[in-house]
Structure 1
Amino acid sequence: VDCTRGRWAISAELPQEYQPGAPIAYIVDESVQALQKVGAFQRAHRTDPALRVIGITGSVGKTSTKELTANVMRRRFVTHASPGNLNSEQGLPLALLGLNHSHQRTVLEMGMYGLGEIDRLCLLARPHVGIVTNVGPSHLSRLGTIERIAEAKSELVRALPDADSGGVAILNWDDERVRAMASLTGARIIRYGLTPDADLWVDEIQGMGMEGIRFRFHYHRPNSQKVDSIHVKIPLLGRHSVHTALCAAAAGLAEGLGWEEIVPGLQAQAGQLRLVAVRGINGSTIIDDTYNASPVSTIAALNLLADIEPKARGRRVAVLGDMRELGSYEDEAHKIVGRRAADVVELLITVGRLGSAIADEARGAGFAPEMVHSLASHEEAVDLLRQIIHGDDLVLVKGSRAVGMDTIVAEITVDAAGMEMGGDAQEHQVAGAG
């Protein structure tokens, strides 16, 4: 629907009577299939034949990787990227509708809830480059085992053209399940990670608090003994963000960009990265990582909090909520997070039934009981935070939106004038853990 230009179209499954002068309604048997057909038509017939498609999947980090990769591509190419997290069987076709003949590259996020879904997304998008960030327990309750999650993510790699036809698979060499995907494709493989057995790797990683991270890239040039090495500083928070930078840099190298283009792309302000630092009530700083939560991303967020030194008398505070869809791993995942939180923070607030397991484990690990608050709802958390947060506190808010963690951020954020607000008064925009 494009109301701004007077163009309306409605896809519906139930018949409607047409009134002269009313918007046109296309009546279809199944609306999702119809949307997919429209998206596939846009991709096939309303784009430049030379358009190259970069698909991204993984258990965490897809959106941050998509945004940073698009930044790098824009240094040379007219680039489209899927808005927000339009990555599903309904979302991806909508993203494809944003393509036109001017675009030379598109960067698309591909998510899934079950086997076969990424296969179907690849039929619509026809990717040339596939990036797999990692395989973790997200959606374990739906797929049952980590191995089935890996199988679902590997569908992107299987769908790529071979190397002679321009196919490139960019794989996280630090993840054994992603490494195994190299045998599933005839595409060129670019291996990235933290060890020199990868094609592109980093070392000398240094967290610089709210200023970002510094590290050194190394790249084995293909068909050469030469290794490029370059020091880089980028405005992404948290050591885990080096994997986001590695993905984006690898995509740039795959598409023929030089370091003089890749590095400025990594350093530019990205459009919609997940983890955001905002000004909070009573002079605090809120680290908002509330889009979703998994054990990997929550531990990464806590590690980030550990890397940042609060000012003056400020405290490290974590407000942690439920992590959903973890199946049989649910109890252990929340215990692991509780133990790490006990090592990092001075004050712990948990929200939700599963969040209480984090609190219990933190107490069991020796955390002072009076500094742990286990609450049932986000409303209780907001009331408590308004009472106990003071100037210079660093407050990490992380957890599923299903328990209202994003609402907590909205309620304890202030605007530039110091007024409480329910919006996005962003001071820093940085890469999240997924």
Structure 2
Amino acid sequence: MIRLDNLLYAVQPRATRQVVHIPPSWVDRQIGPVVVDSREVTPGSLFVALTGERTDGHLYLPDVVERGAAAALVSPAKLAALAPDWSAVARPWRLIEPSDGSALATVPPEACLFIAVDDPLCALQRAAVYHRRMFTPTVIGITGSVGKTSTKEVVAAVISQRLRTLKSQRSFNSDITLPATLLGLTADHQVAVLEMGMWAAGEIRFLAALARPHIGIVTNVGPSHLERLGSIEAIANAKAELPESLPPDGWCILNADDPRVAAMAKRTPAHVVTYGFAPHADVRAVEVISHGLYGIELTVSYQGEQHHLQTPLIGRHHAYTTLAAIAAALVVGLDWEAIAAGLRDPGERLRLRVVNGQQGVTIIDDTYNAAPLSTIAALEVLAETPGRRIAVLGEMLELGSATEEGHRQVGAAAARTADLLVAVGRQAQTVAAAARAAGMAEAQVIVCADNDAAIDRLRSLIQAGDCLLVKGSRGVQMETIVTALQG
């Protein structure tokens, strides 16, 4: 939430900002939360009218007004050019210049304010920078090729045991959604846990400039986004922008088991804490025991002492998620009792979830996204489940030159972990061929051209006691398979 007078000041270009004087009746008006999708507008929201590849937020302003938004950041030129249909809108609205607070004297209090800006996205980012500087939370930034959202959720769950914590919603990690999260800061927040993603070099550095993190966590470096950045080295350099952006009195938390991440210790001015299984890791997993779909328990060594912990997080790979959260908690001064409590109840469900399917089957739904590393980790979870294990694997996108090799790695892993493989989509033959080459029998490998074909085949194949893992990149919509097979 942000006060209206602060918002009007903050969205102006810094070089020409003017102090805004508004009528007393408007002084205490609070605006927020920030939304960029008109369907998510609730009473009091701040809508940002963005121009995208397929549509323009200015077209939906009538709906935004009707849904009760308090204000919207708009481009007057876009508003005039697109001319949205106002014929069915009963609620008043007014277009105002952000520097002219006196104009509010003639605006009815129930009106939606259209705040005229040069560029709605740039105005949102300016507002986020201004709002961030009003508060002094410890900001924790998290990046990595995979595991960002899971790590963010667990870090926030643990730290909130002792400190009032703001966290990014969903996977809000872009130049649009991170500023929206920052505008949710209040004086009550002691910590903010923010996910930082990237599409190109320089973007994490930009996000860090907005958020000003004191603590940075890098989970790993892998071939996700290889199609855009061109090489693993370029991806590592992009992820290293977070460690490089930390202050000298900050803390950089690095995965000791990933050589590219561990090397970032030389690129940060901050203090370094490492985590992993390596003997030299500061926060080290001595032993991990998986209980399949019932979570993991692990013994962690830190400063010569060992601590036994349990979490409902599914899969051995979540030992890394857990260790990163422990390291962050220790840096901000939490005790082991709080750490253990936070790990036992990590709050909102993470991306991997277990649902009941038709005919008495269990479905492991890990359809949010996919890369070779995360898919192999999910297959290892499948391997620990009882019953007949069926891997339903879709295409992994944005791997660039690593596309063929990445899908071959996943096919070979499926042969080690699954009883049946259902490979779906354009890379299905590559996955299937690798599984056969790794020893999977022909009868155990099924190739489907698309999701609909996979659904039809699975409906005739599944039986009580089966466990299905469904995973693929976001763009191939593997969640439709889960929906079709749910009980």
Normalised TM-score (structure 2): 0.79
Q: 1:303 aligns with which of 375, 380, 385?
A: 380
Counterpart of 1:179 in structure 2 is 262
Contact 2:161 2:338 in 1 (8 A): yes
Contact 1:289 1:397 in 2 (8 A): yes
- After superposition, residues 17-416 of structure 1 pair within 5 angstroms as 21-22=92-93, 23-45=112-134, 47=135, 49=136, 51-163=137-249, 167-220=250-303, 227-308=304-385, 310=386, 314-414=387-487
Displacement, 1:400? 1.1
Q: Report the structure number with the largest CA radius of gyration.
A: 2
Aligned mates of 1:139, 1:16 — CA distance in 2: 35
Displacement, 1:231? 1.2
Displacement, 1:184? 1.3
Aligned mates of 2:126, 2:428 — CA distance in 1: 42
Aligned mates of 1:88, 1:15 — CA distance in 2: 23
Displacement, 1:4? 2.5
SS at match of 2:436: helix
CA-to-partner distance for each residue in 1:184-228, whole Å, 9 max, x for gaps? 1221111111022111101221111122112100012xxxxxx12
Displacement, 1:60? 0.5
Aligned mates of 2:153, 2:406 — CA distance in 1: 28
Displacement, 1:44? 1.7
Aligned mates of 1:72, 1:365 — CA distance in 2: 41
Aligned mates of 2:342, 2:452 — CA distance in 1: 40
Aligned mates of 1:238, 1:216 — CA distance in 2: 15
Displacement, 1:387? 1.6
Contact 1:55 1:130 in 2 (8 A): yes
CA-to-partner distance for each residue in 1:364-419, whole Å, 9 max, x for gaps? 333222222211111111122222111110100011121220111122112xxxxx
SS at match of 2:124: helix
Contact 2:152 2:194 in 1 (8 A): yes
CA-to-partner distance for each residue in 1:210-249, whole Å, 9 max, x for gaps? 22112100012xxxxxx12111121111111100000000
Aligned mates of 1:71, 1:27 — CA distance in 2: 39
Counterpart of 2:14 in structure 1 is none
Counterpart of 1:3 in structure 2 is 42
More off after superposition, 344-353 vs 13-22: 13-22
SS at match of 1:4: coil
Displacement, 1:11? 2.8
What's the C-alpha RMSD, in Å, of the aligned pairs?
1.6
Does residue 79 of structure 2 align to residue 16 of structure 1?
yes
* Paired residue type of 2:393: L
Contact 1:350 1:358 in 2 (8 A): yes
Aligned mates of 1:7, 1:337 — CA distance in 2: 46
CA-to-partner distance for each residue in 1:132-172, whole Å, 9 max, x for gaps? 00011100010001111011001110111112xxx000000
Displacement, 1:8? 2.9
Contact 1:84 1:272 in 2 (8 A): no
Aligned mates of 2:398, 2:43 — CA distance in 1: 39
Aligned mates of 2:164, 2:119 — CA distance in 1: 34
Contact 1:157 1:169 in 2 (8 A): yes
Contact 1:318 1:345 in 2 (8 A): yes
Aligned mates of 2:408, 2:455 — CA distance in 1: 24
Aligned mates of 1:262, 1:271 — CA distance in 2: 17
Aligned mates of 2:439, 2:273 — CA distance in 1: 44
Contact 2:394 2:424 in 1 (8 A): yes
Displacement, 1:24? 2.2
SS at match of 1:3: coil
Normalised TM-score (structure 1): 0.89
More off after superposition, 1-10 vs 131-140: 1-10
Contact 2:153 2:346 in 1 (8 A): no
CA-to-partner distance for each residue in 1:304-349, whole Å, 9 max, x for gaps? 11122x1xxx310000000111111110111111111112111111
Of all paired residues, the percent bearing the same amino acid is 48
SS at match of 1:135: coil
Contact 1:82 1:95 in 2 (8 A): yes
Distance 1:228 1:321, change over 3 A: same
SS at match of 1:210: helix
CA-to-partner distance for each residue in 1:8-51, whole Å, 9 max, x for gaps? 32233444369892232223332321221122222122x3x3x1
More off after superposition, 350-359 vs 363-372: 363-372
More off after superposition, 80-89 vs 266-275: 266-275
More off after superposition, 392-401 vs 371-380: 371-380
Q: Between Structure 1 and Structure 2, how many residues are aligned?
A: 398
Aligned mates of 2:409, 2:153 — CA distance in 1: 30
